[in-house]
Amino acid sequence: MDLNTLWFILVAVLFIGFFFLEGFDYGVGILLPFVARNDKERRMAINTIGPHWDGNEVWLITAGGAIFAAFPHWYATLFSGFYLALFLILIGLIGRGVAFEFRSKDENPLWRKTWDFVIFFGSLVPAILWGVAFANIVRGLPIDETMTYTGGFFYLLNPYALLGGMVTLLLFSLHGALFLSLKSDGIIRQRAERFARLLWLPVVLVVVSFVGYSLVETDLFVNNGGILQWLSVGIAVIALLSAGYHIFKSKFGLGFVSTGVTLAVTVILLFSGLFPRVMPSTFEGLDLTIYNASSSEYTLSIMTVVALFFVPLVLLYQGWTYWVFRRRITAESHLEY
């Protein structure tokens, strides 16, 4: 395995971590207006992710940094072509971060409701746009010989990409509902469990629709023989069915693991279908690959040494924070947000 392939896999792993962790993070924010009816309940819901949301976003920052350093041409084409969409994601993420810190600074109900809306909006928009972005990447984009995206913003709003946005929206919401069922108690827990039961079937329907649409709209299942892609689909289907079984048996911890597996193998499906490309072009022979979009071998070598040292430290620290804040949030808990 060469360093180009290694860093392509590492970027995929970073997005797996991001989708798994930030997935329930977004899901809690999306469900906030529906599972919490008053300020006390909203504070309980927010406190389930309060100690973790910023750590979860580190996975995205690291993934972006890895793309920038390892595949600078991929980074340049991606961020210029998806500029408006990524700008909206950035606004949402900034708004969420500010809202988490500011909502408890004033007891005025209007003040707190405003920041609660920002948390909802800042979770909803990225949850949709990440699906839209990845669907467009695997579908292929008009990229010319200078590695420049030549389409416009509305080119990205095609039916396939919008269905991809619906997949991530509903899957993150289900993942968040299951996380809330594990981390909260009382009425919040009851409502989260109810939403998990309501969301499961729509998630299955949109995931199956997306896979079917991918067969005709992309070459995901043709590239590289399609073996790993079909294996990922099979695992995703089994995981989704397992999630439904455990949800309706009130085994929400196993349901949460199942939706996490679904998110992980979805990322594997997308990246394995792309390899060795990073951004397919609709113009023949102009795909961006892990070779023509990469940094020098020397740069990749230094990055590998740094990653071998720091990545385990980050994993240990984040695991420690989840262990420390592992208890359920109840009405008697100290609420900071």
Q: Which amino acid, one-letter code, is at 45? A: A
If you average pLDDT over every residue of the chain, what do you get? 91
Residue 110 has pLDDT above 80, yes or no: yes
Is pLDDT at 126 greater than 90 in this prediction? yes
Ramachandran category for residue 142: left, alpha or beta (phi over 0 → left; psi -120 to 50 → alpha): beta
Backbone angles phi, psi at 147, to 5 degrees: 65, 35
Query: Is 145 a residue whose pLDDT tops 80?
Result: yes
The model's pLDDT over 232-263, given as tens digits with 9 standing for 90+, comes to 999 999 999 999 999 999 999 999 999 999 99
Which pLDDT score is estimated for 334? Answer: 60
Q: Buried (b) or exposed (e) across 215-244, using 16+ Cβ within 10 A?
A: eebbbbbebeeeebbeebbebbbebbebbb
pLDDT at 330: 78
Q: How do residues 33-60 score in pLDDT, each as one tens digit?
A: 999 988 888 988 999 998 888 888 889 8
**Nearest 5 degrees, angle CA 35-CA 39-CA 44?**
60
- Cβ atoms 114, 48 nearer than 8 A: no
3-state secondary structure of 281: strand
For the entire predicted model, the pTM comes to: 0.93
